[in-house]
């Protein structure tokens, strides 16, 4: 039996992946646990939700990633809790002992206690989420096409995106492109460009983490795409067929079917479980507050990294939930673990190197803030493209995605526009039934012209 230390890493996102990778030459045994069999390139998940990319383009099987790393094994398993006293991870179907533990289970959408909203306004965190959102968006146009009642038709063509951060902005911009370009000439009874897209945020600006100049430019780009941007508006109620907004004392109820949640995030529930088990604290967003070396207080054998960790930068600001932060934290923790193996006590605290941030609004439009340099428009979008392509984990995925993007750009096409899975039962006034009454069944095209 080996005397090697057993490092258990929970979560194969950017943070977990980089811990494992950076430990490839370390004298440890690593077990990577994940609920999914793939690493997900989350920054492009919105492209799957809008039919531009296939799930496999942005997901790499974890086993494939670590196939050659002999000190690592991958287990497809669901972690349900922690037993730090006995140094064990509790699984749905067993338990697993560790010498060192890295928890990187990420974040989920925060519905601020209104968990019922989750069914009506799904968030975008997993492949399954993306396919569900894709199904809802595409089905909405299909239902509008079959709907004769103009009020109900308008409702099908109304899309509300809650939260004007990077994900919400990307979704709104891409949805506008689909409605104005991709679906053009595909329908006979509706004009998809009539779609009404609302981007709602409780704060005063879109992409509010960016400097005002960039945020303003993003707003202008969104409005140029006919997106109805509603800043300073609170969502007070969501039903399957409406969103209620409040601005000062004004209340507006928007009839719609497709609602997407891209508002605040909170640490995954496992963060709370770990905090309770270790007497650690969490911040308001459910992120576990770690030491400067990313260890859990009083538990030098446990690290928390990625979106689940609350880490403050030198100026006291919480680091944002971004892939570069997670990647750097992962690499840092791998080095701390290697120091610990050598019994080196002196480790310098984690410092995030901000190489810049960027967000895209859609085809040919983005904003970038790189060490104070600000970029907008096509230039920023090209930078965004190149940087995201470089980052995609596997060589094949990179080329495939490049190919697919180039194609989409030239043709405005989105090839992954499949409706799969099961649809809920909506109440509609089907076009065909009403057509019987108006006796216009023989000429659906002519009927369209007259309507």
Catalytic (active-site) positions: 170
CB of 421 to its own copies, least distance (A): 7
Residue span 158-197 as binding mask against its own copies, x where in contact by CB under 8 A, dash where not? -------------------------x-xxxxx--------
CB 351 within 8 Å of CB 240: no
Query: Is 61 near its own copies (CB under 8 A)?
Result: yes
Query: Is 353 near its own copies (CB under 8 A)?
Result: no
Query: Is 57 near its own copies (CB under 8 A)?
Result: yes
CB closer to its own copies out of 371 and 445: 445
How far apart are the C-alpha atoms of 102 and 10, rounded to whole Å?
6
Query: Is 339 near its own copies (CB under 8 A)?
Result: no
Count, residues near its own copies per rule CB under 8 A: 82
Among 10, 49, 101, 127, binds its own copies (CB under 8 A): 127
For residue 102, give the 3-state DSSP assignment: strand
Query: Is 251 near its own copies (CB under 8 A)?
Result: no
CB of 67 to its own copies, least distance (A): 5
CB closer to its own copies out of 48 and 294: 48
DSSP state letter for 350: P
Query: Is 442 near its own copies (CB under 8 A)?
Result: yes
Among 80, 244, 285, 440, binds its own copies (CB under 8 A): 440
Structural element, H or E, at residue 33: strand 28-34
Residues in the chain: 451
Among 80, 81, 91, 220, binds its own copies (CB under 8 A): 91
HSE-up (13 A, CA, CB side) for residue 220: 11
CB 55 within 8 Å of CB 421: no
CB closer to its own copies out of 370 and 419: 419
Query: Is 44 near its own copies (CB under 8 A)?
Result: no
For residue 282, give the 3-state DSSP assignment: strand
Residue with tokens 């007070």: 236
Query: Is 83 near its own copies (CB under 8 A)?
Result: no
Query: Is 292 near its own copies (CB under 8 A)?
Result: no
For residue 283, give the 3-state DSSP assignment: coil
Query: Is 142 near its own copies (CB under 8 A)?
Result: yes
CB of 416 to its own copies, least distance (A): 4
Provide DSSP, 355-412. --EEEEEETTEEEEEETTEEEEHHHHHHHHHHHHHHH-SSHHHHHHHHHHHHHHHHH-
The footprint of its own copies on residues 398-417 (CB under 8 A) is 399-400, 403-404, 407, 411, 413, 415-417
Among 73, 83, 223, 344, binds its own copies (CB under 8 A): 73
425 burial type by CB count under 10 A (0-12 exposed, 13-18 middle, 19+ buried):
exposed
How far apart are the C-alpha atoms of 380 and 346, rounded to whole Å?
41
């Amino acid at each position: 039996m080996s005397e090697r230390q057993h490092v258990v890493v929970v979560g194969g996102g950017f943070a977990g992946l980089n811990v494992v990778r950076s430990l490839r030459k370390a004298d440890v045994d690593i077990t990577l646990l994940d609920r999914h069999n793939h690493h997900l390139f989350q920054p492009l998940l919105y492209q799957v939700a809008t039919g531009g990319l296939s799930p496999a383009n942005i997901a790499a099987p974890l086993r494939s990633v670590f196939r050659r790393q002999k000190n690592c094994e991958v287990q497809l398993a669901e972690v349900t809790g922690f037993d730090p006293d006995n140094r064990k991870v509790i699984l749905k179907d067993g338990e697993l002992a560790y010498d060192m533990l890295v928890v990187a289970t990420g974040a989920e959408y925060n519905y601020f206690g209104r968990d019922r909203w989750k069914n009506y306004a799904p968030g975008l965190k997993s492949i399954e989420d993306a396919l569900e959102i894709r199904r809802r968006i595409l089905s909405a146009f299909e239902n509008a096409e079959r709907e004769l009642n103009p009020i109900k038709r308008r409702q099908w063509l109304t899309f509300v995106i809650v939260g004007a951060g990077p994900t919400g902005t990307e979704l709104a911009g891409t949805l506008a492109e689909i409605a104005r370009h991709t679906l053009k000439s595909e329908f006979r009874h509706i004009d998809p460009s009539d779609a009404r897209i609302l981007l709602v945020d409780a704060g005063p600006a879109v992409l509010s983490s960016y400097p005002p100049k960039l945020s303003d430019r993003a707003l202008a780009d969104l409005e140029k795409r006919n997106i109805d941007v509603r800043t300073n508006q609170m969502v007070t109620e969501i039903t399957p067929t409406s969103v209620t907004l409040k601005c000062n004392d004004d209340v507006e109820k928007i009839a719609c079917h497709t609602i997407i949640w891209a508002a605040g995030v909170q640490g995954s529930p496992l963060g709370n479980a770990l905090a309770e088990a270790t007497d650690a604290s969490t911040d308001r967003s459910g992120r576990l507050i770690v030491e400067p070396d990313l260890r859990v207080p009083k538990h030098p054998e446990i690290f928390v990294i990625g979106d689940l960790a609350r880490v403050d930068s030198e100026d006291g600001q919480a680091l944002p939930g971004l892939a570069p932060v997670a990647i750097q934290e992962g690499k840092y923790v791998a080095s701390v673990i290697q120091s610990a193996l050598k019994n080196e006590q002196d480790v310098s605290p984690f410092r995030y190197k901000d190489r810049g941030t960027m967000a895209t609004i859609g085809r040919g439009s983005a904003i970038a803030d790189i060490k104070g340099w600000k970029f907008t428009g096509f230039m920023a979008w090209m930078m965004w493209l190149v940087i995201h392509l470089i980052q995609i984990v596997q060589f094949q995925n990179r080329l495939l995605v490049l190919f697919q993007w180039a194609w989409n750009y030239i043709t405005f096409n989105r090839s992954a526009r499949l409706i799969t899975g099961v649809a809920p039962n909506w109440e509609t006034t089907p076009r065909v039934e009403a057509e019987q009454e108006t006796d216009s069944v023989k000429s659906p095209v002519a009927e369209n012209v007259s309507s």
